[in-house]
C-alpha cells in the first residue's frame, strides 16, 4: 500500500470508529430521523458548495442510477438502522458486529464477478469470523435485542455492497461530488421525518456536540477520505479499516460510556478480527507450472 493509502487508511480507522459512541449519545435525546438528518444535512452543507465550485456534476447526472443505489445502501438504510439499533445495543457491540463487513464483502465479491479464488485459508477465515459474530450475538437473540442485531446485520449487507457499486459504477464521479450528492439526497429524504419528530425540549450540549461531530467529522470529512481510499487501494483492501473500527468503538464505549468489557466481547473481537484478516488475505501465488512462461 502506498504512503497516501496508509494515511487514508489510518484516518478511516478513527473517523468511522467513533460514530457508534456519538450515535449512542444522540439517540438518548433525539429521534433516529433527527440523528440521520442532522448528520447528512451538516455534511451536505459543507460539501455541496465545495463540489459546485469545482464542477463535475455532469458525471453525477450521467450516473444517477448507481448513485441512488449507493446512497440507499450506504446512507439511507444503514444510518437509520444503526441509530435505531443503538437504542437497544451498546456502541461496543454494534461496532463489533459491523466488523463482519469484510467477511460478507468477500462472499459478495466472489459471487458477483471477482475472479479471485477462495482457498482453504480464506474459507477458514469466513467461518472463524462468522463464529465470532455468533459468539457475540447469541446471548442477545431475544426480544428487542434480536431485532436490533438483525438491523445491524442489514447494515453489514449494505456496507458490503455499496463500496462495490462505488468502485465498479461510480469511478467517473469525483469523490467530492459523489459525497455531496449522496448526503444531499439523504438530507432531503429525512427532512420531513425529522421535522415531525423534533424533541419537545432543546437537546443537551452533549447531544448537540455529538450531532455536529457526526455531521462534520464522521460524515463530511470521512466520506471524502473514504472514496479516496477505495480508489487508491480498491474496495476489498480499502474496507480492511473496518478491522480497526471495532477496537476504536469498544475503547470509546468503555472510556466514555462505561460500557462493560466482558470476556465474550474480547473473544468475539479476536474471532471476528482474525476471521476478517484471513478472509481478505491475498491469494497465495500460483504454483510455477500454472504461471505463464
Per-residue pLDDT reduced to its tens digit, 144-162: 688 888 999 999 999 989 9
- pLDDT of 293 reads 35
pLDDT of 287 above 50: no
The whole-angstrom separation of Cα 7 and Cα 103 is 23
Q: With 0-12 CB in 10 A as exposed, 13-18 as middle and 19+ as buried, what is 286?
A: exposed
The whole-angstrom separation of Cα 233 and Cα 255 is 32
Measured CA distances, 240 to 64, 234, 280 (Å): 28, 10, 8
Of 230 and 16, more confident: 16
The whole-angstrom separation of Cα 250 and Cα 177 is 33
Q: Are 269 and 242 in contact (CB under 8 A)?
A: no
Q: How confident is the model at residue 238 (pLDDT cuts 50, 70, 90)?
A: low
Percent of the chain with pLDDT over 70: 86
The C-alpha cell that represents 270 in the structure block: 479476536
Nearest to 230 by CA among 42, 100, 102: 102
Element spanning 180, H or E: helix 175-196
Q: How confident is the model at residue 283 (pLDDT cuts 50, 70, 90)?
A: low
Measured CA distances, 179 to 70, 214, 242 (Å): 10, 15, 19
Q: Are 97 and 149 in contact (CB under 8 A)?
A: yes
pLDDT of 178 above 60: yes
Phi-psi region of 234 (alpha: psi -120 to 50; beta: other; left: phi over 0): left
Q: At what angle do helices 101-111 and 263-279 cross, to 10 degrees?
A: 30
Of 87 and 231, more confident: 87
Q: How many CA atoms lie within 13 A of 62 on its CB side?
A: 10
The whole-angstrom separation of Cα 75 and Cα 222 is 13
Q: Are 28 and 149 in contact (CB under 8 A)?
A: no
Q: Residues 154, 193, 166, 235: is their CA dihedral positive or negative?
A: negative
The whole-angstrom separation of Cα 58 and Cα 173 is 9
pLDDT per position as a tens digit, 96-146: 788 778 778 777 877 776 655 667 877 787 778 778 777 777 776 665 688
Q: Are 141 and 149 in contact (CB under 8 A)?
A: yes
The whole-angstrom separation of Cα 154 and Cα 134 is 15
Amino acid at each position: 500500500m502506498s504512503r497516501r493509502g496508509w494515511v487514508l487508511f489510518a484516518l478511516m480507522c478513527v473517523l468511522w470508529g467513533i460514530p457508534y459512541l456519538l450515535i449512542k449519545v444522540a439517540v438518548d435525546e433525539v429521534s433516529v430521523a433527527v440523528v440521520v438528518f442532522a448528520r447528512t444535512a451538516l455534511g451536505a452543507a459543507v460539501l455541496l458548495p465545495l463540489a459546485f465550485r469545482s464542477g463535475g456534476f455532469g458525471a453525477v447526472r450521467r450516473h444517477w442510477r448507481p448513485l441512488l443505489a449507493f446512497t440507499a445502501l450506504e446512507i439511507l438504510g444503514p444510518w437509520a438502522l444503526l441509530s435505531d439499533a443503538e437504542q437497544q445495543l451498546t456502541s461496543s457491540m454494534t461496532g463489533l458486529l459491523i466488523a463482519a463487513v469484510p467477511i460478507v464483502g468477500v462472499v459478495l465479491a466472489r459471487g458477483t464477478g471477482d475472479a479471485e479464488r477462495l482457498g482453504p485459508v480464506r474459507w477458514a477465515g469466513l467461518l472463524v469470523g462468522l463464529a465470532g459474530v455468533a459468539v457475540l450475538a447469541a446471548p442477545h437473540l431475544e426480544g428487542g435485542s434480536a431485532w436490533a442485531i438483525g438491523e445491524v446485520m442489514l447494515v453489514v449487507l449494505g456496507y458490503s455492497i455499496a463500496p462495490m457499486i462505488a468502485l465498479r459504477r461510480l469511478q467517473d464521479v469525483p469523490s467530492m461530488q459523489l459525497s455531496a450528492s449522496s448526503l444531499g439526497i439523504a438530507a432531503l429524504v429525512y427532512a420531513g421525518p425529522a421535522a415531525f419528530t423534533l424533541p419537545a425540549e432543546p437537546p443537551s450540549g452533549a447531544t448537540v456536540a455529538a450531532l455536529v461531530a457526526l455531521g462534520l467529522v464522521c460524515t463530511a470529512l470521512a466520506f471524502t477520505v473514504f472514496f479516496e481510499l477505495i480508489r487508491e487501494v480498491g474496495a476489498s483492501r480499502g474496507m480492511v479499516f473496518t478491522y480497526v473500527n471495532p477496537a476504536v468503538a469498544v475503547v470509546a464505549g468503555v472510556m466514555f460510556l462505561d460500557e462493560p468489557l466482558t470476556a465474550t466481547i474480547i473473544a468475539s473481537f479476536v474471532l471476528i478480527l482474525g476471521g476478517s484478516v484471513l478472509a481478505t488475505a491475498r491469494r497465495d501465488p500460483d504454483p510455477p507450472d500454472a504461471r505463464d512462461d
